[in-house]
Amino acid sequence: MLSTSLIIDNLKKDETTDYKKLCKLLKFSKKDDKAKLNIALEALERLEIISKNDKNEYLNIKDKTHITAKIRCSSKGYCFAVRDNSSDDIYIKENLLNYAWNGDKVLVRIIKEGVRRRSPEGIVDCILEREHKNLLARVQIIDDKVYGIPIDDRILSKIKLPSSDKKYLYFPERKNIVNIEIDMFPIAQIEGTGHVIKELNLSENEKLDEEFVLSKNNIYLNNQNLTLKLQDPEIKERIDLSTKNSFMFKSWKKADCPLLPLFQYEKNNQGYSKLWIHTNSIAERINFNDKNLVEFFNCNFGSFLLADRWKSFLNKELLNLSKFEIGKINKSISLCLVLSNEFEIVDWSFHLTEVNCVAIIDNKLLDAINKNNKKSRITSRILKPIKDYLDEINYILEISQKFREKQISRGICEIAKEPNTLDLLDEFYFHKPCSYDNDFFEPLNINDIQTYISPILFEADSIWFEHSSNLKIFNANYLSIGSSKVNVNEIIKNTQLLESDLELDSNGNLSLDKLLSLCDEDNKKRIINKYLMNNLYKNKANINCSFSEENNFKSSISPWTLPSLDFVNLINQYSLFNMFKNAKRSKKGTKEINIFKKDSWNLVTWNLFNASNIKLLNIFFNDVLIDKYNSYKTKYELFRSNYITIKRIREAEKLIGKKFNGLIITVQSYGFFVELPDLYIEGLVHVSTLNDDWYEYRSRQNLLVGRKSKNTFKVGDLIEIKIVKVDILKYQIDLEIT
């Protein structure tokens, strides 16, 4: 689909692009496509975003007056343009949106600078990319015309439908919303148009929940015409480690889940040990010279979990060729860590290997291992199949725990997610290794073996960042901005920790570790965890090809160990494999250097890659693809969160009228949110339902106070409530005090 963003991305700022070449880059050959392109080019010229010379060549001239941002609207009609660089959001009045919708990528021009605490104001000059291709809506008749009214009240336009779609008229008791395919977005005085492609009757029909949440988050599972072109591994020389014991630690159970690495432990008599991390060799099986590969990744940025299976972003054939299975020798890209007795990493090296998985350790085995008495001669029935491997497995688990202790000592904290009480959501709560969106760790969990993978993979991914950056090799990385401290004033207000003896630094800050240590109550700790998870900085992937003191490797990682998980892991593994395949190991007339060992960069004085190889790497390591990848991450994390929410709301719907003792999580001027026990979902007690008094909101103390009775409602209070209403479409629960 043609988007303004696609046109601009294919036009350079320092080099003109011929019209015919532009059509070729966009793969436009039909007259209709070229006609639409011509309209878009003329509009961009008038907006002075691009220019055209006499030779019919185009140049990207977008300057600093135009800011790339995403539109974020609230249900109350307030709209802001959110910038990527964490600068102030730009307030956009509704009449200056130019029909941009919530989530759209736009070019904004500031028309009024911000003063004091007021945000700058702007106008949307150009919509670069539409977030919504389809729209969930209620069908209604207005002035004898059929319209789709978006169920998302952050979208401020209605869509005109053909009269034949009158049959989908909305009935509240059926909750029969429709999925509308948009034919034309609204422009100037012309209404947007579309047509119904499917009706979803959500009332008491949980089978449609997944489709509903996918559609609401603009995720489409249509099969792409493009497939990956595979190739046989070219490099034959590999270290044969297939006679050594390698283990997989796995919680995931559903089909097509991402492939997990193997771990191998070796201890010697000189006070050192080796820990091998064997990753599925996927990058070397993909033909990265394929001209259609970028287009393939534009539609496939990662694997994500659905209700009954995983949706992989890679071909099944590729996954089957690459996966590790018990008793099957397979190719791997491996990292060998040399550890001291104090579990310090003293050396490392990368290798191409052949390995063999001898056992898969799941959560049942982990539970049995934890209960096993090491001194006892009797081995439980569950552990008998891995009896001979128990020492090695326990060493690996111990290394994981020691690594985590050291990582926390370097400044990153642990924050536990909310518990899960619904069996059907188990897989959604299993830990996802190599997920670095947040600036904190998920604690090790004796009920989830995959949490023990992350401390080890964190080190492996950190090492690739350091190794590749020092050798000036491309990597995609997550750079932590060091959110080890946050302003504590809001936390005190939100959690009522006033009775605690707090010691702040000169800037009024409190370290997260110290804050969490002050919480001796589970309820308070859960409230703080929720606050921190919602307010700590969200990490984004970036492109890097050199080490600098500003990007300290101790706070940066380049994930490569789960290449079947997402695009960033895959291209980082490709960059590593590219070293084996194409990097120059020596300068003419000099001795060959092992560039795969720690500190080897101190001996490298030549360019590792030639110009053509760097050109190929530039195709995949570029800001446009990484920006789209970051958008994908946000979208699919929201899908996961919303799917969990709707399943919990379905359970709450069965409990309407029943009473609970709930925990107040947040207090606002219009009421307070209470967390329901067991379901761990919040509902709203609206201030209008508090009939015994007139309640005032005191923002400094963050509580509601009755004028006459002086009754208060504050964060952390336990109160008796009942569920009075559930809205599946808006993910809302209404509560009342009993």
Indicate the length of the chain as a whole number. Answer: 738
66-129 matches 134-203 in fold: yes
pLDDT at 511: 63
pLDDT at 563: 97
Q: How far apart are CA 476 and CA 573, in angstroms?
A: 10
Stated pTM of the model: 0.90
Task: Name the stretches of the chain with pLDDT < 50.
Answer: 483-484, 498, 549-551, 553
Name the residue among 217, 340, 332, 343 with its Cα closest to residue 278: 332
Amino acid present at 285: R
Positions of E strands within 637-694: 659-668, 671-675, 682-686
Fold for the domain defined by 66-129: OB fold (Dihydrolipoamide Acetyltransferase, E2P) (2.40.50)
Note whether 704 and 712 are within 8 A (CB).
yes
pLDDT at 593: 93
Residue ranges of domains in the chain:
4-60, 66-129, 134-203, 239-335+345-369+387-481+542-638, 485-535, 655-737
Give the model confidence (pLDDT) of 673-714 as tens digits: 999 988 999 999 999 999 889 999 998 788 899 999 999 999
Note whether 561 and 460 are within 8 A (CB).
yes
Enclosing H/E stretch for 299: helix 293-299
Name the residue among 685, 706, 688, 686 with its Cα closest to residue 696: 706
CATH superfamily of 655-737: Nucleic acid-binding proteins (2.40.50.140)
Structure tokens at 644: 């969990």
Q: Phi/psi zone of residue 171: left (φ > 0), alpha (ψ -120 to 50 degrees), beta?
A: beta
Q: How far apart are CA 663 and CA 672, in angstroms?
A: 10
Fold for the domain defined by 134-203: OB fold (Dihydrolipoamide Acetyltransferase, E2P) (2.40.50)
Structure tokens at 342: 């104090």
Give the model confidence (pLDDT) of 339-392 as tens digits: 999 999 999 999 999 999 999 999 999 999 998 866 556 678 899 999 999 999
Q: How far apart are CA 601 and CA 594, in angstroms?
A: 9
